């Protein structure tokens, strides 16, 4: 679906934020970009719906190179939605309804069609009772949902989210993750996430890219990547807590644990039960 | 109540009052027509006569609609009146002192001249007081029952230029964000032992204003990027969607206005003669 070829981006102050990145992902994938602050995640994702232009290299969306005239950008942005990290940047209208309606109105739909899309999007994110409220009435988690609804109302095929879980409480994080997984499953929406929340990644992503200083240093499934603990530490990240526990149990206590560490609670449970059975024998 | 709290309360009332879901066309039509009639009745004011009937009727009706029908909290309504009324009293005192001609009431001998307060000045001052209080009650009815979003949609309907409506919506949205940010900054200053002297408090305020200004520029840029990402084409479209006005309500308001005009004409010669 997306193909990036030797993409580089240099900011006007001279910082090389993206350094020769090539990658591609398919329709319906759930992809996470993991990296520390300043590793280039946001800059990379900003290229995918035309917010930033590459300094060099090419981006293809469905085999066509991105064009940057107003009409092509509108078509691209209808198909590729971007949810920003700080919902206060994104929610600018005076009410939830007006904000969610902004995208569809820009696409030139009729008022009735827009109302339909707004309602549908707000039902999906569970915010329909706040339709007439102004954004400053909402909590952080609620704002994030409305920001997501604003993108959903444009019926995108790809949703890009920058730090979807930052500054949310645990319940709000788990709600938004479930919502994203549901969108991916039911509507086949391709999801691209930038995050530094390592514990969230295995719950969400099928494919993981590790970014460091503007370069992709590793790619693969969360399982293969997190079993390489040295690499993770080298780029100043850490493994998920559960993987770390199993790594210590294996290396310090010599327990016969599989090479790919469990990353989630359910995987850990399986591994523990397997271990108990082998020791019983 | 402090200023930011009062703003927030007024804003909250606009969304939560019992008339929040009724048509903004009806509410605006009622408030503005009552305001217009009540203010233009001053055309019949006579010097030396206090004519208070029409403004008092308008004030009573608007206040009872705001408190009774829209169920706005009485303390909020009173708080909202405090500053304008203080301002109004001050202005009316000045009108009484400096305006008017004809029959003098009091003559104060100063050693270079005589200061005269006239009957017509006093009547003008008292009439202005009633007129403005009546008008305020109309406007407060509107702001306490109608949300800014609805008003903006309405402004678009009556063909107010797009740019003005866009600006109002954005200003409204970000006022609340920057109120929050400035409250946080001011707290941060206090926690770092801001000194309470006059000069240092001016300095703290200057610092706060400066960094707030930078924040607004920054926020503007980021919001523009986010708007572009959803296909902003230089024109902020507004979804024209609010409950349509009930015909009976509109007819009712027209009847009320006719009655009010009739009252204006009937009472144009009556009043308290000073």
Q: Does A51 touch chain B (CB under 8 A)?
A: yes
Q: Are residues A64 and A2 in the same domain?
A: yes
Q: Which DSSP state fits A63? A: T
Min CA distance, B10 vs chain A (Å)? 13
Q: What's the angle, vertex CA A206, arms to CA A203 and CA A212, rounded to 5?
A: 90
| pTM of the entire predicted model | 0.85
pLDDT confidence of residue A103? 94
Q: Are residues A56 and A168 in the same domain?
A: yes
Inter-helix orientation angle B3-16/B162-191, to 10°: 130
Q: Kindly report each contact of residues B185-194 with a partner whose C-beta sits within 8 Å and lies 24 or more positions away, as own/partner.
A: B185/B211, B185/B212
Q: What's the half-sphere exposure (Cβ side, CA atoms, 13 Å) at B17?
A: 32
Domain count, chain B: 2
Whether residue A152 contacts residue A125, with contact meaning beta carbons closer than 8 Å, is answered with yes
Does residue B206 belong to any structural domain of this protein?
A: yes
pLDDT confidence of residue A227? 86
Q: Are residues B18 and B126 in the same domain?
A: yes
Min CA distance, B172 vs chain A (Å)? 7
Q: Are residues B18 and B84 in the same domain?
A: yes
Does residue A95 belong to any structural domain of this protein?
A: no
* Whole-angstrom distance, CA of residue A116 vs CA of residue A101: 10
- Do the Cβ atoms of A134 and B147 come within 8 Å? yes
Min CA distance, A21 vs chain B (Å)? 23
Q: Are residues B93 and B29 in the same domain?
A: yes
Q: Which two tokens stand for residue A218?
A: 């590793």
- Do the Cβ atoms of A88 and B219 come within 8 Å? yes
Whether residue A170 contacts residue A141, with contact meaning beta carbons closer than 8 Å, is answered with no
- Rg over alpha carbons for chain A, rounded to the nearest Å, is 20
pLDDT confidence of residue B4? 65
What's the domain range around B9? 3-146+243-273
**Which residues does chain A have within 8 Å of residue B176's beta carbon, measured at their own beta carbons?**
134, 136
- Do the Cβ atoms of B176 and A136 come within 8 Å? yes
Whether residue B143 contacts residue B10, with contact meaning beta carbons closer than 8 Å, is answered with yes
pLDDT confidence of residue A31? 95
Beta strands in chain B (DSSP E): 49-50, 104-109, 114-118, 272-273
Among residues A188, A154, A165, the alpha carbon closest in space to that of A32 is found at A165
pLDDT confidence of residue B203? 87
* Whole-angstrom distance, CA of residue A39 vs CA of residue A33: 10
Whether residue A192 contacts residue A145, with contact meaning beta carbons closer than 8 Å, is answered with no
A162-204 pLDDT, tens per residue? 999 888 888 989 989 999 999 999 999 999 999 988 988 998 9
* Whole-angstrom distance, CA of residue A237 vs CA of residue A259: 20
Q: Nearest by CB to A92, which of B11, B227, B241?
A: B227
Q: Are residues B36 and B167 in the same domain?
A: no
pLDDT confidence of residue A13? 92
Min CA distance, B133 vs chain A (Å)? 30
Residue whose entry in the numeric block shows the structure tokens 């709290």: B5
**Which residues does chain B have within 8 Å of residue A103's beta carbon, measured at their own beta carbons?**
230-231
- Do the Cβ atoms of A136 and B173 come within 8 Å? yes
The rounded average pLDDT for each run of 10 residues, N- to C-terminus, in chain B (274 residues) is: 77 91 93 92 84 91 95 93 94 91 85 87 92 95 93 91 90 87 86 78 88 91 92 87 87 94 87 79
- Do the Cβ atoms of B169 and A51 come within 8 Å? no
pLDDT confidence of residue A258? 84
Return residues 149-188 of A near B (CB < 8 Å).
150-151, 154
Q: Which DSSP state fits A14? A: S
**Which residues does chain A have within 8 Å of residue B173's beta carbon, measured at their own beta carbons?**
91-94, 134-136
CATH number for the domain that contains residue A195 = 3.40.50.300
Does residue B235 belong to any structural domain of this protein?
A: no
Which residues on neighbouring strands pair with residue B22, listed in sequence order?
A: none
Q: Are residues B224 and B251 in the same domain?
A: no
Q: Are residues A222 and A272 in the same domain?
A: no
Among residues B140, B238, B225, the alpha carbon closest in space to that of A42 is found at B225
**Which residues does chain B have within 8 Å of residue A88's beta carbon, measured at their own beta carbons?**
177, 219
**Which residues does chain B have within 8 Å of residue A78's beta carbon, measured at their own beta carbons?**
231
**Which residues does chain A have within 8 Å of residue B148's beta carbon, measured at their own beta carbons?**
94, 134
What's the domain range around A198? 1-68+157-226
pLDDT confidence of residue B52? 87
Minimum CA–CA partner of A95 in chain B: B149
Q: Counting beta carbons within 10 angstroms of the beta carbon of residue A123, is it exposed (0 to 12), middle (13 to 18) or buried (19 or more)?
A: exposed
Q: Are residues B16 and B62 in the same domain?
A: yes
Min CA distance, B235 vs chain A (Å)? 9
pLDDT confidence of residue B2? 66
Q: Are residues A177 and A276 in the same domain?
A: no
* Whole-angstrom distance, CA of residue B264 vs CA of residue B228: 53
Does residue B194 belong to any structural domain of this protein?
A: yes
Domain count, chain A: 2
Q: Which DSSP state fits A165? A: T
Query: pLDDT tens per residue, chain A (281 residues)?
Result: 899 999 999 999 999 999 999 998 899 999 999 999 989 999 999 999 999 999 999 999 999 999 999 899 999 999 999 999 999 999 988 899 999 999 999 999 999 999 999 999 999 999 999 999 999 899 999 999 999 999 999 999 999 999 998 888 889 899 899 999 999 999 999 999 999 889 889 989 999 999 999 999 999 999 999 888 888 999 999 889 999 899 899 989 988 888 888 898 889 999 999 999 988 77
**Which residues does chain A have within 8 Å of residue B174's beta carbon, measured at their own beta carbons?**
92
* Whole-angstrom distance, CA of residue B263 vs CA of residue B44: 12
Q: Are residues B66 and B99 in the same domain?
A: yes
């Amino acid at each position: 679906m997306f193909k990036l070829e030797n993409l580089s981006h240099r900011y006007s102050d001279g910082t090389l934020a993206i350094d020769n990145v090539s990658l591609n992902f398919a329709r319906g994938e759930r992809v996470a970009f993991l990296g520390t602050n300043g590793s280039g995640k946001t800059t990379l994702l900003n290229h995918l719906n035309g917010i930033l232009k590459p300094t060099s290299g090419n981006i293809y969306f469905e085999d066509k190179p991105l064009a940057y005239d107003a009409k092509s950008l509108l078509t691209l942005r209808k198909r590729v939605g971007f949810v920003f990290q700080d919902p206060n940047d994104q929610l600018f209208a005076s009410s939830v309804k007006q904000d969610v309606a902004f995208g569809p109105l820009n696409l030139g739909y009729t008022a009735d069609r827009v109302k339909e899309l707004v309602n549908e999007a707000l039902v999906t994110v569970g915010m329909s009772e706040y339709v007439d409220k102004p954004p400053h009435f909402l909590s952080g988690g609620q704002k994030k949902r409305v920001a997501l609804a604003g993108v959903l109302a444009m019926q995108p095929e790809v949703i890009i989210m920058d730090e979807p879980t930052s500054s949310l409480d645990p319940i709000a994080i788990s709600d938004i993750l479930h919502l994203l997984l549901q969108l991916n499953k039911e509507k086949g929406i391709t999801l691209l996430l930038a995050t530094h929340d390592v514990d969230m990644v295995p719950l969400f992503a099928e494919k993981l890219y590790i970014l460091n200083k503007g370069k992709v240093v590793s790619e693969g499934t969360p399982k293969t990547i997190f079993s390489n603990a040295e690499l993770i530490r080298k780029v100043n990240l850490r493994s998920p807590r559960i993987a770390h526990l199993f790594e210590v149990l294996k290396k310090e206590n010599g327990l016969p644990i599989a090479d790919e560490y469990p990353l989630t609670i359910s995987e850990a449970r399986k591994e523990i039960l397997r271990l108990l059975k082998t020791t019983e024998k | 109540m402090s200023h930011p709290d009062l703003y927030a309360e007024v804003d909250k009332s606009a969304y939560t009052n019992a008339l929040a879901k009724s048509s903004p066309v009806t509410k605006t039509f009622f408030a503005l027509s009552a305001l217009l009639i009540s203010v233009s009745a001053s055309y019949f004011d006579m010097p030396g006569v206090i004519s208070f009937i029409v403004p008092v009727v308008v004030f009573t009706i608007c206040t009872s609609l705001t408190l009774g029908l829209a169920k706005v909290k009485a303390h909020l309504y009173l708080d909202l009146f405090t500053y304008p009324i203080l301002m109004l009293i001050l202005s009316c005192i000045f009108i009484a002192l400096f305006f008017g001609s004809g029959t003098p009431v009091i003559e104060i001998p100063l050693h270079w001249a005589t200061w005269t307060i006239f009957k017509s000045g006093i009547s003008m001052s008292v009439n202005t007081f009633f007129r403005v209080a009546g008008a305020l009650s109309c406007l407060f009815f509107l702001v306490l029952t109608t949300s800014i979003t609805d008003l903006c949609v309405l402004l678009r309907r009556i063909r107010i230029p797009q740019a003005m409506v866009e600006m109002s919506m954005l200003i409204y949205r970000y006022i609340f964000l920057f109120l929050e940010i400035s409250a946080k900054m001011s707290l941060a200053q206090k926690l770092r032992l801001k000194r309470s002297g006059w000069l240092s408090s001016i300095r703290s305020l200057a610092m706060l204003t400066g960094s707030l200004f930078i924040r607004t520029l920054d926020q503007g840029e980021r919001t523009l990027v986010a708007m572009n990402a959803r296909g902003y084409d230089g024109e902020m479209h507004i979804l024209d969607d609010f409950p349509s006005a009930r015909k009976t309500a509109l007819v009712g308001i027209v009847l009320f206005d006719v009655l009010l005009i009739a009252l204006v004409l009937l009472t144009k010669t009556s009043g308290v003669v000073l």
